[in-house]
Structure 1
Amino acid sequence: MITVLATGPQTTVQDVRGRPGRADLGVGVSGAADRRALALANRLVGNHGDAAGLEITLGGFAGSFPTTCVVALTGAPAPATIDGRAADLHRPVVVPAGAELRLGTPPTGLRTYLAVRGGIAVAPVLGSRATDVVAGLGPAVVAEGDELPVGSPPTHPVPAVDLAPPPRADGTLRVVLGPRADWFADPGLLLRHPWTVTDDLNRVGFRLDGPELARAEAFAGVELPSEGVIRGSVQVPPSGRPTVFLADHPITGGYPVIAVVVDADTDAAGQLRPGEQVRFRRAAEPLPGARPNRGT
């Protein structure tokens, strides 16, 4: 059991997989905004891949552990203490019985993930323990005073890991243009210009500030019937400033999607915070400085 003493701006229960394959029923996938960070935290404590953990936005979480637990913190590097003593991230850490774990505000990134050996054992809804803040599926957003159940620990030992290196991110997101790139006079502007993350940001997605992505003359004033959207969709409302969808995105949208962020990069997108710059590049383009593969 974890007794929640503070939640910070927002803490939710999440798992990696979410609820895939139910869009025809109006159910979004949801799950962790940074799946690779939660997956790493689970690996560090020896959990099964479907174990649920806590997604903590901009730190500020505090919890009391009545029994001894093994935990791991990954994602945004929020400074952590256990009963006032500094605790490491990206490695298994023992929280003694009766101790308090507290997180400060991370200097970079947005979301920190807390995995506890045995997982957060709330009841699954439609096969997942993830909180979908838009649809209201899954457990409620974590609140001060909540008591979160912890499942039985796995029978295998805790992995012998000194420190797992965090993934690097440089603010570049790979995209595939389309399906509605032809609705815009200059879709390449999305790739050529840097964009700034605004403070209009949550688990649904985030808005970007930059030049206007103007409609092509043929589509000026044209309304698009609602069509399916996926995680990573870059949708452009009438303002011409794009919105990037994240984990709790709607399953349909009525604004044209100029591009889609490749799935592997949506985890990095989930760590972007207001004021940061973003650049998009075509998924087929090599990374800067990469050597071409000339074969053998």
Structure 2
Amino acid sequence: MTDRALAVVRAGALTTVQDQGRPGHAHLGVPRSGALDAPAAALANRLVGNPVEAAVLETTLNGCTVRPRSVVTVAVTGAPCPVTVGGRPAPWGAPVRVPAGALLDIGPARAGVRSYVAVAGGVAVDPVLGSRSTDLLSGLGPPPLTDGTVLPLGRPDGVHTRVDVVPHPGPPSELVLRVTPGPRDDWFTASALRTLATGTYRVSSASNRIGLRTDGPSLERAVSGELPSEGMVLGAVQVPPDGRPVVFLADHPTTGGYPVIAVVRGADLPAAAQAVPGTPVRFMVVRRR
């Protein structure tokens, strides 16, 4: 068995393999998937000398523990968390050398939700439709990690970056999501649109990689009944029967029958990946130009 591998000792609450996802397959019913906090994943890759498309590990809330079978260089970004190598503290947000057989522990997030672990050479599981990403909705890609999983690694082809400071925003204390109304905003009352723009919402504990659910006031429908199933895009703000907005994230379904009142600007979605349950959410309506 190759010595370029990681053995998973503690998988954590939810740790998956993620890269830039598999765009371009929505017509086949395949979501994009990919790292929810794409800038954090890209930064981790940069720190270890990987191309931006290399696969990384995405942890959720309580991190994970792995043991490399050979000397590796790693970097942890995203949600700030304690990092140890062989029981000794190691830096977060910087390249770290991990000896063969040493335990690399990524601890619980001190703030935010998801941390990203890049290994020089990348995680080299077999790609599916051009991506190594785990898709929780469709089941494509490798399954979520479990204790004892062994992940193959690629060969490093770059030089890791030497840094003193990581220029990456921290998790949001308030999640501000700029939204463009439509395509089905006419299915809602004028008061519903005002509520979306001024209402007090918070991130629900039921949120996941498929969608960020919110707790707060319901949005009143002007049109009863349901739509025929239609295409859904990343960032769509869908309103299910309970009236509380759901923001579609990377593993979202490609079609749906509940009306979409607005769509979130793509630049605001990485912060949604790091918003812990209870975080205030403000929808800022930006009209089409």
Q: Tell me the TM-score normalized by structure 2.
A: 0.93
Q: Does 1:48 align with 2:51?
A: yes
Which residue number in structure 1 is paired with residue 6 of structure 2?
A: 2
Q: What displacement does 1:149 show?
A: 0.8
Q: What pairs up with 1:1-296 in 2 under 5 angstroms?
A: 1-16=5-20, 18-154=21-157, 156-168=158-170, 169=172, 170-185=174-189, 186=191, 187-216=193-222, 219=223, 221-283=224-286
Moved >2 Å (runs of 4+): 282-285
SS of match in other structure, 2:219: coil
Amino acid aligned to 1:225: P
Q: What displacement does 1:284 show?
A: 6.3
Q: What displacement does 1:163 show?
A: 2.5
SS of match in other structure, 2:10: strand
Q: Distance in 1 between matches of 2:272 and 2:121?
A: 28
Q: What displacement does 1:95 show?
A: 1.0
Amino acid aligned to 1:266: L
Q: Distance in 2 between matches of 1:96 and 1:283?
A: 50
Q: Distance in 1 between matches of 2:82 and 2:91?
A: 8
Amino acid aligned to 2:184: R
CA contact (8 A) 1:175 1:280 kept: yes
Amino acid aligned to 1:192: T
SS of match in other structure, 2:110: coil
CA contact (8 A) 2:233 2:248 kept: yes
CA contact (8 A) 1:234 1:242 kept: yes
Which consecutive unaligned segments of at least 5 residues does structure 1 have? 286-296
- Identity in percent: 53
Amino acid aligned to 2:105: R
CA contact (8 A) 2:63 2:109 kept: no
Q: Distance in 1 between matches of 2:159 and 2:243?
A: 53
CA contact (8 A) 1:262 1:283 kept: no
Q: Distance in 2 between matches of 1:190 and 1:223?
A: 20
Amino acid aligned to 2:161: P
CA contact (8 A) 1:90 1:165 kept: no
Amino acid aligned to 2:250: A
Q: What displacement does 1:194 show?
A: 2.3
Cα deviation per residue 1:156-206 (whole Å; 9 max; x = unaligned)? 322222231222444111111111112111212111122111111111012
Q: Distance in 1 between matches of 2:27 and 2:63?
A: 37
CA shift in 2, pair 1:249/1:138, >3 Å? same
Compare 170-179 and 30-39 and name the one that shifted more: 170-179
Cα deviation per residue 1:48-83 (whole Å; 9 max; x = unaligned)? 111000000012300111211111101111211111
Alpha-carbon RMSD across the aligned residues, in angstroms, is: 1.4
Amino acid aligned to 1:190: L
Q: Tell me the TM-score normalized by structure 1.
A: 0.91
Q: Distance in 1 between matches of 2:91 and 2:177?
A: 29
Amino acid aligned to 1:20: P
Q: Distance in 1 between matches of 2:238 and 2:198?
A: 17
Amino acid aligned to 1:70: T
